[in-house]
Structure 1
Amino acid sequence: MPRYAFRIEYDGRPFKGWQRQAELPSVQGTVEAALARLEKDIPSIAAAGRTDTGVHALGQVAHADLQRAWEPFRLAEALNYHLKPAPVAITACAEVTEAFHARFEATWRSYTYRMISRRAPLVHEAGHAWGVRGKLDVAAMAEGAKHLIGKHDFTTFRATHCQANSPVKTMDKVEVEEIPLPAGTEIRFHLKARSFLHNQVRSIVGSLEHVGSGAWAPDDIARALAACDRAECGTVAPPQGLYMTGVGYPEDPFAHGWSEA
């Protein structure tokens, strides 16, 4: 059975997360239903990460074993046709070896969180960013984010029901970007690590918002981190601002397939 890798983009608003759930809409279930229109008895697909309810993706990666050989471009085109009208799209497709696994072979994952600072409610970006009233100190948030780089015990920034074996993770990047808008300012948080704990990104962003608003000093991020206590975490940012942006592998699985870019 040939194995295919897919890069998947989706709007998380209609879904109860990536993982298939009985009688609830999920991204995995939607993609598997589209695959079933092409071939019967498709095994369950595997993804690099399980995004939560309302979380979006620009660069989720998944793989599936099919019964027949497909030209990657034709497979992507067929899947995109059957995915309509769901807000899900295949943006890259390639045949890979049986050794490739979207989750276990991944060497890093990246996320971006979008926050928009302005007094007026969000209109076009509603459901795609966190609207925060009032001006935020971006430089202070960037200073606080530096405390999170490297290997740490992230218990403070971990959901209480997280199933990871260890709270210790190595953060390769936590950057804060400021983008002026016609009305307000967009602040983007870019994070990269081999893997993340459940709610880790949203917990970090919510705590950095406390720094930006002046409720915390930048060094309070270090204090909260060192406490290894979930009670020391700031507000958990809402899911609608979070995007899974990419997944890295020892070799690019789409180098010899079809890709939009």
Structure 2
Amino acid sequence: MYRYKIIFAYDGSDFAGFQVQPHQRTVEKTLKIAVNKIAKNPDPAIEVYGSGRTDAGVHALGQVAHFDIPFDLPDDSMRRALNSLLPLDMMVKSAEHVDANFHARYSAHRKLYRYRVSQGEFVDPFKRRYTAHYKYPLDIERMQIAVKDLIGEHDFTSLVASGSQTKSNVRIIYHAQIWRDEHDQEIIFEFEGNGFLYNQVRIMVSLLLEIGNDQRPVNDIPRVLAARDRNQARGTAPASGLYLVEVNYDD
């Protein structure tokens, strides 16, 4: 068997998330169908393993997956073959042979997420699937101060949605920043960490937006984290603004 690692992008608008679900169009199922067609539909079917799940409506610029296939194809031939079978809202950027020990999920060291918030007066019809919309005033300097309190190792129990099945809610955020894109009238949030809990990024963004709108004190994040109570964080930002940008496998 030959193991391939692929980096691919998708528009999550019309997918019911990454993970296979009965009677739903999902990223994993769509990719699995294409891989098995290339392998001439073996029995049992070839499984596809992603670096992690994304929810319905969440996009990816650099999602990673791996699979084993029973014959050898040049890397670029694999990329081209997959793209010829995938729908227009998915695209494989690269394919490469990897060692049999590589695992898209368990070998990952860091993930980078980006969240886009449109600041127009009204919802832009051409952005409604690709950004959140927040028309109220935002003090970006308050948010830039507050986001620093998320950096480091923390118990993020207050910032995880119900339904999470992880054994530990402790995660490390290595890097977090916020900036304003004046040209597109957007606020951009970026987080890099060793892993993220169910809806964690969207909850962090909602919390920071409340701080930026002066609904919370600028130093409220340490209190929220210490409470270990999901009710302290309140909201969850929409899925449409969230992008998985990159998965890093370097030590």
Relative to the length of structure 2, the TM-score reads 0.96
Say yes or no: does 1:190 pair with 2:190.
Answer: yes
Matched, 1:44 2:41: no
Structure 1: state its 5+ residue gaps.
252-261
Structure 1 residue matching 2:21: 3-state secondary structure: coil
Distance in 2, matches of 1:116 and 1:225, equals 27
Instruction: Give 1:181 deviation, angstroms.
Output: 2.7
Q: How far apart, in 2, do the equivalents of 1:139 and 1:151 lie?
A: 23
| In structure 2, distance between residues paired with 1:123 and 1:6 | 32
Q: Which amino acid aligns with 2:27?
A: V
Aligned AA for 1:178? R
Paired with 2:79 and 2:17, the residues of 1 have a C-alpha distance of 22
Once the 2 structures are TM-superposed, how far is the Cα of residue 16 of structure 1 from its aligned partner? 0.7
Q: Which residue identity is paired with 2:189?
A: F
Question: Map of 1:176-215 to 2, 5 A cutoff?
Answer: 176-181=178-183, 185-215=185-215
Residue 171 (structure 1) shift = 0.9
CA contact (8 A) 1:144 1:222 kept: no
CA distance in 2, matches of 1:248, 1:130: 26
CA–CA distance in structure 2, aligned partners of residues 220 and 135 of structure 1: 19
Q: CA deviation at 1:11?
A: 0.4
Q: Secondary structure at the match of 1:77?
A: helix
User: Which segment drifts farther, 204-213 or 215-224?
Assistant: 215-224
Paired residues, number: 248
**2:185 is aligned with 1:218:** no
- Contact 2:76/2:95 (<8 A) preserved: yes
CA distance, structure 1, for counterparts of residue 143 and residue 250 of structure 2: 32
Asked if the contact 2:180–2:187 (Cα under 8 Å) also holds between the matched residues in 1, the reply is yes
Letter in 2 for 1:76: R
Please say if residues 118 and 134 of structure 1, whose CA atoms lie closer than 8 Å, have aligned partners that are also in contact: no
Q: Deviations over 1:145-176 (max 9, x none)?
A: 01111011111101121111111111111211
Match of 1:71 in 2: 74
Partner of 2:242: 242
- Name structure 2 gaps, 5 residues minimum: none
In the other structure, the counterpart of 1:88 is 90
Q: How many Å separate the matches in 2 of 1:176 and 1:54?
A: 22
Paired residues of 1:210 and 1:234 also in contact (CA < 8 A): no
Alpha-carbon shift at residue 203 of structure 1 (Å): 0.5
| Structure-2 residue corresponding to 1:22 | 22
Q: What CA deviation, in whole Å up to 9, does each residue of 1:168-188 have, x standing for no partner?
A: 111111211211036xx2111
- Give runs of aligned pairs for residues 100-249 of structure 1, distance below 5 A: 100-181=102-183, 185-249=185-249
Q: What residue identity is the alignment partner of 1:214?
A: D
Percent identity of paired positions between Structure 1 and Structure 2: 33
Inter-CA distance 115–186: structure 2 relative to 1 (3 Å threshold): same
Matching residue within 61, 65, 72 for 1:62: 65
Shift of 1:35: 1.4
What secondary structure, in the 3-state scheme, does the structure 2 residue paired with 1:120 have?
Answer: coil
Counterparts of 2:155 and 2:250, CA distance in 1: 26
Secondary structure of 2:247's match? strand
- The DSSP-based 3-state class of the residue aligned with 2:177 is strand
The 3-state SS of whatever aligns with 2:187 is: strand
TM-score by length of 1: 0.92
| Structure 1 letter corresponding to 2:236 | V
Equivalents in 2 of 1:152, 1:83: separation in Å? Answer: 39
